[in-house]
Amino acid sequence: GNQTLTMIKPVAVARNFTGPIIQKITDSGFKICAMKMTQLTKDQAGEFYAVHQDKPFYEDLTTFMSSGPIVAIILEKENAVDDFRKLIGATDPADAEEGTIRKLFAESKSHNAVHGSDSDENAKIESDFFFSKLERH
Ligand code: ATP
């Protein structure tokens, strides 16, 4: 697959990290195919993260992800899903490598600056969640 879906999460948007994060992403060879700022309802956040509905952090996760505007972006690059997950680093910024987006811009495991799709299949599902055909280039 050559596409992945990212979200810049509410705290990162609120702290004005949108620009620096996008700069880092495009400097790393990703092309932007679609992008929007939006705010999810709690139900929409719940739908996006449905795979986590039985996890203890689901309630906090969906509350947080609906707490303010996010920026959703479809990114294109060869090997997009794996290369983007390398670029963002470990889920918990304390474990993330130097230079990764989460090391640079995340506060904590729950406020970890960005999302990245974990498979080609989910990249497609998540891209379809945010964008219509007409919104992609
Ligand atoms: P993402 O899917 O956002 O890229 P990930 O694949 O690194 O993150 P997942 O295990 O899919 O992590 O968890 C989804 C999101 O839920 C994480 O990004 C994080 O914000 C939150 N999360 C995961 N585990 C915990 C936890 N133990 N406590 C709090 N929040 C968590």
pLDDT at position 1 is 81
Tell me the pTM.
0.95
Length of the chain (residues) = 137
**Mean pLDDT of all residues in the chain?**
98
The residues lining ligand 1, judged by C-beta closer than 6 Å to any ligand atom, are 57, 61, 91, 109-110, 112, 115-116, 118
Q: Is 91 annotated as a binding residue?
A: yes
CATH class of domain segment(s) 3-135: alpha beta
* pLDDT tens digits, one per residue of 54-94: 999 999 999 999 999 999 999 999 999 999 999 999 999 99
User: Is 115 marked active-site?
Assistant: yes
Residue boundaries of the structural domains of the chain: 3-135
Measured between alpha carbons, how far is 90 from 81 in angstroms, rounded to an integer? 14
3-state secondary structure 48-67: HCHHHCCCCCHHHHHHHHCC
